Amino acid sequence: MSPSSRSVPPLAGGGRVAILGSCVTRDLWRMTGAAAGDLLYISRTRLPSLFAPRLRGLVLHEGLRPDLRPNPAQALRADLTKTALARLAAFRPDVVILDFIDERFDLLVGAGGAVTASWELETSGWDALLPMEALRRLDALGDADVTLWRRGLDALATLFTPGGALSGARVVLHEAAWADAMRTSSGRLEALDPDLEITPGRRASRVAHNARLARMHAATRATLPGLEVVKALDSLIVSDPDHVWGLSPFHYIPDYYAEVWRQLGGRS
């Protein structure tokens, strides 16, 4: 059975929806004013980290930067303690929506496991408590990362097979990409910087990450039978400098969210 690239409206019938991705997909509800009652949002984790064991010697504490919002703090703790998969299975979603924008982060591997080198990890203070001497950083754009990510994708696919934790759930791929330009208040398009600060002091190329996302999307379409795909027109992949989360290549203009929401068949 080959994956479908047609935009099928999975939300039209309601039910429980789980997002395994980033704020790009979560913002569909915010930007359209839709109710988010039966919605589970798992973010700030990468597929290799999602399926990795907890690091040996990991000790956490309660102190965090005071400006770290509750949802990112919860996501960070889940990535470190490896509780997201159990939470996803217990939620029993009818629909799972994937997006890979948070796959931009490097990985920290070793001590028997892996964690996502997210902005929150590196600015919260928790990174200092990891068994750092046992960990090495893998560049998200490197060959070693490709191998680990592919293993994560294969592990994800098993969840949707008969008997798997997500068996029977519909799976949707939101093919999000980094924008090349922003739309000013006057309606004019201006080019964005060619690279972005992923975490403090670490920058990466928009072109390289978009090429990587395209490879991830192709691999996912080939790996998950029955996959449904939603994707905005290229003309809508434009950044909004007035976005609630600030300017970023993946904080889009309102029309982007309206179009993807329409493809999903969502209801306000």
* pLDDT tens digits for range 33-78: 888 888 999 999 999 999 999 999 887 766 666 667 888 888 999 9
What pTM does this model have? 0.93
Asked if residue 171 lies in contact with residue 224, where contact means CB atoms within 8 angstroms, the answer is: yes
Domains of the chain in start order, with CATH, are 17-264 (3.40.50)
Around Cβ 87, how many Cβ atoms within 10 Å? 12
Question: Is a pLDDT exceeding 50 seen at residue 24?
Answer: yes
pLDDT at position 266: 72
Query: Average pLDDT, stretch 156-183?
Result: 97
Strands 228-230 and 170-174: parallel
What whole-number distance in Å separates Cα of residue 141 and Cα of residue 222?
A: 21
What DSSP character marks residue 15? Answer: -
Distances, alpha carbon 167 to alpha carbons 66, 91, 173, in Å: 39, 13, 16
Residue 3 has pLDDT above 50, yes or no: no
